[in-house]
Chain A
Amino acid sequence: MKRHLLSAGDLTRDDAELVLSTAEEMRSLADRPIKKLPALRGRTVVNLFFEDSTRTRISFEAAAKRLSADVINFAAKGSSLSKGESLKDTALTLEAMGADAVVVRHGASGAPHRLAHSGWVRSSVVNAGDGTHEHPTQALLDAFTMWRHLGESRPGGLEGRRVAIVGDVLHSRVARSNALLLRILGVEVTLVAPPTLLPVGVETWPVETSYDLDGVLPKADAVMMLRVQRERMNGGFFPTPREYSRRYGLDARRMATLQDHTIVMHPGPMVRGMEITADVADSARSVIVEQVTNGVAVRMAVLYLLLGGSEPFETPADEAPPEGRAPQGPPEREGDE
C-alpha cells in the first residue's frame, strides 16, 4: 500500500481486499466491552476539513480514537486567505505540530494530492473528499458493505456482481471513487443519470452508462443512489425536481422490480422525496445505516494499515519476495518461533 490514500485507483486488488478483511476484524470490536485498540498509541491524526461534513469527520474521529490515536480537529472554514496560501500555511502548522496523518477534505479537486506531494508535510495524507474528484474511503466502505451482503460467502468475492450508481454522477466524488474501486474488485458498474449529469469523458471510465433506470434495476445486485448536489449546480441540469424524481428517483414501484437479494445504498446525506422515497430508505433492503457503521471500521483499517507499523503495509504487489528464498510462515509470528 502506498503512503497516502489519495485515489481509490491507487489501490491494487490485494490492497483493497486487505482493507476489507482488516475492516472485518475492526468491525468485531463493536461487540466487545472495551471498544478500543492500542495500535496507534502516541500517533497524532489531524482532521483537516475545509468543507462541511458531519458523517465523514465524525467517522474518522471515532476511528482514530478507537485505535488510541490523538485526534486534532482543524476546521479551516471561514479562512480569509486564498486557497493556495491557506493550504500551505496550514500544512506547515500541522508539520510543526508533528501530525502522523492528515485527513483532508477540500472543496478543490486535487488539494490532497498537492498536500501529499508538495513536500510541506511528512505525514500520510488521506483524502476525505476533494471537490468533485474522489472520496476513496467512502468507496471502500461501500465496497465493504457490498462485500458483507453479496461477496462474503462466494469464492470470487464481489467478482461479477452488478452495481448501478444512479443520479448526479457529474458532481459526485463518491461515484468516481466507487467506479475505480469496484472495477479493481471485478464488479460491473453501470452509471445511470440524465445526459446532463454524466461527466465529460465518462466513456473513458471502466463502466457502462445508461439513461434508463427501469432497464438497469432488474439486473443489479446493489443500487447506489446519489444525492443531487444542488449547491454545486448553477445551470439547468434538469427541468424540475419533480421530473428528475419521476425518471431517476427510487420509489416503491421501482424497488419491486429488484431481485430478492439486491441491496439499496446511499452515501448520505439523503434528500428524501428527491432521489429516494422514505419507504425505500426505511425498507429492509436499505443498508444506509449500516454503511455509517461500516465507515468507522473501514477508516480504522485504513489508518491502521497506513500508520500501524514503521511504514505502510507491504503487499506483494509493492515488493515481490526475492527468488529462491525459503517460503516463510506468516510474518506476524516470526518474533516468537
Chain B
Amino acid sequence: MCAQPQPAQQGASPIRTGRTVLDDRDIARALTRISHEILERNRGATDLVLLGIPSRGVPLAHRIAERIAAVEAYDVPVGSLDVTMYRDDLRLKPARALLPTEIPPGGVDGKVVVLVDDVLFSGRTIRSALDALNDVGRPSAVRLAVLVDRGHRDLPIRADFVGKNLPTSLVERVRLRVAEIDGADEVTIEETQE
C-alpha cells in the first residue's frame, strides 16, 4: 500500500546528467544472452529458481524467466529476496523501509538459485543476500547474474553471468533504470558531484 517500490523519479523524466552506456536494446540483448547462459550452465530449466534483489533486480529476474519460458517452454519460479536486515551497514544509517521478500511456493531447498541484481559493485549486497538465503532454505547451488559488473569489489565475490563489464572509477555512479519502475530501460554512468 505504501512503501513498496515507489517510482523514485517522477514518471519517465530522469535527469540527463549521465552518459548512457546501455540502451533498451542493449539491455534486452544482454538479458537474452544471460538467459541462454543460465540454461546452458544448468543443462535446462528444471530445478531453477530466480530470486531478484529488490528493487531493480526483481523486474530483471522476471524478464529472464520470460526468456527462459520462450526457449524451454518451462515456467521458472521467480521471487524476490530483500537483504535490508542482513546488511553490514544497517547500524550506520537510520532505519530503512523493508522491501518485499517473496519466496516461490516450491521453496529453495535442493534447487539451483540464481540471484539477480542490477549492478555488482562492492559485493556487500550479495554477501547479505547469501546470508538472507541461508535463513530461507538450503539450495543445492547458488549462482549470481548481474546486468552490470562495475568492479571495485570489497569481498571475494564474483558473478557467474554478467550482462556487461563496465570499467569505472570510484567517483562515478552507475545506475540502471527499468521500464517497470522508472518508465525507461537504460544504464547510465555519471560523475558524483562531491
Give bound CA distance, A22 to B124, whole Å.
Answer: 23
Q: Once the chains are docked, how many angstroms separate the CA of A34 from the CA of B103? A: 13
Question: Which one of A309, A313, A314 contacts B90 once the chains associate, using CB atoms below 8 Å?
Answer: A309
Taking the complex as formed, is A308 at the interface, i.e. its CB lies under 8 A from any CB of chain B?
A: yes
Quick one: CB contact mask for A310-337 with B, threshold 8 Å, 1 for yes? 1111100000000000111111110111
**The residue from A38, A307, A326, A336 contacting B125, defined by CB atoms under 8 A apart:** A336
Measured between alpha carbons, how far is A28 from B100 in the docked complex, in Å? 9
| Interface contact A312-B90, CB-CB below 8 Å | no
Q: Is the CB of A21 within 8 A of B4?
A: yes
Q: How many residues on B have C-beta within 8 angstroms of the other chain's C-beta atoms?
A: 48
- What residues of A have a CB within 8 angstroms of the CB of B131 in the complex? 38
| The residue from A21, A152, A309, A336 contacting B3, defined by CB atoms under 8 A apart | A21
B25 within 8 A of A: no
- Indicate whether A308 sits within 8 Å of B90 (C-beta atoms), given known contacts A18-B2, A313-B95, A332-B99: yes
- Chain A residue, CB-CB nearest to B136: A32
Given A332-B96, A335-B122, A337-B175; A14-B9 close (CB under 8 Å) = no
Give per-residue flags for B9-28: 1 if the beta carbon is below 8 A from chain A beta carbons, else 0. 11000010100000000000
Contact A309 B93 (CB under 8 A): yes
Q: Could you give, for residues 52-89 of chain B, a 1 whenever the CB lies within 8 Å of some chain A CB and a 0 otherwise?
A: 00011000000000000000000000000010111101
Interface of B is mostly: loop
Measured between beta carbons, the chain B residues less than 8 angstroms from A304 are 85, 95, 98
The reply to whether A36 and B95 form a contact with Cβ atoms under 8 Å apart is no
Q: Please judge, given known A-B contacts A20-B1, A21-B1, A25-B82, whether A335 and B96 are in contact too, CB under 8 Å.
A: no
Q: Is the CB of A333 within 8 A of B55?
A: yes
Q: Which residue of A lies closest to B97 (CB)?
A: A18
From known contacts A17-B1, A34-B135, infer whether A22 and B97 are also in contact, taking CB-CB under 8 Å.
yes
**Once the chains bind, are B92 and A147 in contact (CB under 8 Å)?**
no
The answer to the question of A184 belonging to the interface, with a C-beta cut-off of 8 Å to chain B, is no
CA distance A220 to B71 in the complex (A): 52
Q: Is the CB of A335 within 8 A of B1?
A: no
Total A-B pairs, Cβ < 8 A: 119
- Contact at B55–A331, with CB atoms within 8 Å? no
Once the chains are docked, how many angstroms separate the CA of A20 from the CA of B97?
A: 11
The residue that B135 contacts in the complex, of A17, A32, A147, A157, with Cβ under 8 A, is A32
Task: Output the nearest chain A residue to B99 by Cβ-Cβ distance.
Answer: A332
- CA–CA, A333 to B118, complex, Å? 10
Q: Let me know if A327 and B9 touch, CB within 8 A.
A: yes
CA–CA, A52 to B34, complex, Å? Answer: 59
Q: Which residue of A lies closest to B4 (CB)?
A: A21
Cα distance A311–B55 when bound, in Å?
A: 23
How far apart are the CA atoms of A313 and B96 in the complex, in Å? Answer: 6
How far is the CB of B171 from the nearest CB of chain A, in Å?
Answer: 13
Q: A37-B85, A152-B1, A333-B56 are in contact. Are A310 and B91 (CB under 8 A)?
A: yes
Could you name 25 residue pairs across A and B whose Cβ atoms are closer than 8 Å? A20-B2, A21-B3, A21-B98, A22-B98, A25-B98, A33-B137, A157-B1, A305-B95, A308-B96, A311-B94, A312-B95, A313-B95, A313-B96, A313-B97, A314-B94, A326-B15, A326-B17, A327-B9, A329-B8, A330-B6, A330-B8, A330-B99, A332-B84, A332-B99, A336-B124
Q: Give me 5 other A-B pairs in contact (C-beta within 8 A), A33-B137, A310-B91 excluded.
A: A25-B98, A28-B102, A32-B103, A34-B136, A38-B131
Task: Spell out A's residues near B (CB within 8 Å).
Answer: 14, 17-18, 20-22, 25-26, 28, 32-34, 36-39, 147, 151-152, 157, 304-314, 326-333, 335-337
